Amino acid sequence: MKMSARNQMKGKIESVDNGVVTSSIKVKITAPSIVTAVITKESVNELNLKPGDEVTVIIKSTDVMLGKE
C-alpha cells in the first residue's frame, strides 16, 4: 500500500474494543522500526542532534489511521 503519510509503522492488532460509535484498536509495533522526522535546521542546531543520540519521537497528528493489505 502506498501512502503519503510518513508516520507509518507496521504492527499486529492486539485487541479491538468496539464502542457504540467508535472502536479502539491496540496495535503492537514490530521492530525494527524507523520513524522519519522532518524538522527545521534551526531545531537540529538548538538540540545539537547527531547520530547516536537517544531521543524521544513525538508524533503530532489529529488523526491516526490504519491500513491493511
pLDDT for the residue 2 = 63
Whole-number pLDDT of residue 50 = 92
**What does the alpha-carbon distance between residue 16 and residue 34 come to, in Å, rounded to a whole number?**
25
The angle at the Cα of 60, spanning 58 to 65, to the nearest 5 degrees, equals 110
Residue 12 has pLDDT above 80, yes or no: yes
Integer Cα distance of 33 and 9 in angstroms? 7
pLDDT at res. 39: 81
Residue 1 has pLDDT above 70, yes or no: no
> Is cis: bond before 51, omega within 30 of 0?
no
pLDDT of residue 4: 63
Cis omega (within 30 of 0) for bond into 32: yes
The pLDDT score that the predictor gives to residue 7 is 64
Cβ within 8 Å of residue 33, ≥6 positions away: 9, 10
Of residues 49 and 39, the one with the higher pLDDT is 49
